[in-house]
């Protein structure tokens, strides 16, 4: 219990919040690594997910690839790319992007596939091109699941970006790995707490975003279904009485 008391004392020490090695700067570095990773992974994962979901092609291969990528050892990959590309940010971003692609890919093509085919057929019957169907029908309707995949990817990257300290780079991993060999457990646990809090905050923001991207048509349909179900429930209750 004293370890956690020491960790919170470390967290509330003003000296750890100032300077280039302070918590705010390290948090910004951590978020920067996460943002760059999500952009790089999104170019691959979301693009492929849109193609697979819209055309129905390569779905089996996508399932195999995403499953294989999830099983890769992150730290081993980091050392491999560091030996190949040298010490720097590039190996870290590549490894984190490999980790982020599976949830982005799965969320995107699952969102497209979840759309009722009658909706897509109606858009095609109205004379929309395939690009128009994708941009104006499928992407807006699939957006909640796409954001859900982005949310999962962001949490995984935030939790794993601490490995950047191995090369060594910045980020919140500095608090963990720099103090691990020194047995400064207050700083190690304090750094882990900061990572956890950051992940919870980002998760909450993505949860709000996930709700906000639901299209107005879907919201209206849900509202109609709810208002139609309410009288039915009252009638059943009256009959039971």
Query: Per residue in 175-185, pLDDT tens?
Result: 988 888 888 88
Is it the case that residue 132 has pLDDT exceeding 70?
Answer: yes
Task: Give the single-character DSSP code of 209.
Answer: H
How many Cα atoms sit within 13 Å of 127 on the Cβ side?
Answer: 0
How many independent structural domains does the chain possess?
A: 1
Domain of residue 157, residue span: 2-240
Percent of the chain surpassing pLDDT 90 = 39
Calpha distance 65→56 (Å, rounded): 16
**What is the average pLDDT score of the chain?**
85
Is it the case that residue 70 has pLDDT exceeding 90?
Answer: no
235 pLDDT tier (thresholds 50, 70, 90) = very low
Q: What is the pLDDT of residue 216?
A: 64
Calpha distance 106→149 (Å, rounded): 7
Nearest C-alpha neighbor of 49 from the set 187, 162, 142, 161: 142
Q: What is the pLDDT of residue 13?
A: 87
238 pLDDT tier (thresholds 50, 70, 90) = very low
Which CATH number goes with the domain that contains 92? Answer: 1.10.3720.10
Tell me the pLDDT tens digit for each residue of 21-61: 899 999 999 999 999 999 999 999 999 999 998 888 888 88
- The pTM (predicted TM-score) of the whole model is 0.84
Structure tokens at 167: 């090369």
Structure tokens at 61: 């291969």
């Amino acid at each position: 219990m004293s370890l956690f008391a020491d960790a919170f004392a470390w967290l509330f020490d003003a000296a750890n919040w100032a300077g280039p090695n302070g918590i705010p700067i390290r948090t910004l570095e951590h978020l920067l690594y996460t943002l760059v990773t999500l952009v790089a992974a999104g170019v691959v994962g979301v693009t492929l997910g849109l193609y697979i979901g819209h055309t129905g092609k390569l779905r089996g291969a996508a399932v195999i690839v995403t499953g294989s990528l999830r099983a890769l050892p992150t730290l081993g990959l980091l050392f491999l790319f560091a030996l190949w590309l040298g010490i720097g940010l590039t190996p870290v971003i590549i490894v984190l992007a490999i980790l982020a692609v599976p949830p982005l890919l799965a969320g995107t093509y699952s969102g497209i596939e979840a759309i009722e085919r009658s909706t897509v057929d109606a858009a095609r019957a109205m004379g929309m091109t395939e690009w128009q169907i994708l941009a104006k029908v499928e992407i807006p309707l699939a957006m909640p699941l796409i954001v859900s995949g982005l949310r999962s990817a962001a949490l995984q990257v935030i939790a794993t970006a601490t490995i950047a300290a191995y090369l060594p780079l910045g980020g919140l991993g500095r608090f963990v790995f720099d103090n691990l060999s020194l047995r400064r457990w207050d700083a190690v646990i304090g750094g882990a707490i900061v990572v956890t809090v950051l992940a919870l905050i980002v998760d909450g923001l993505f949860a709000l975003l996930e709700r906000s991207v639901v299209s107005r048509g879907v919201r209206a349909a849900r509202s109609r279904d709810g208002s139609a179900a309410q009288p039915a429930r009252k009638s059943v209750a009256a009959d039971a009485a």
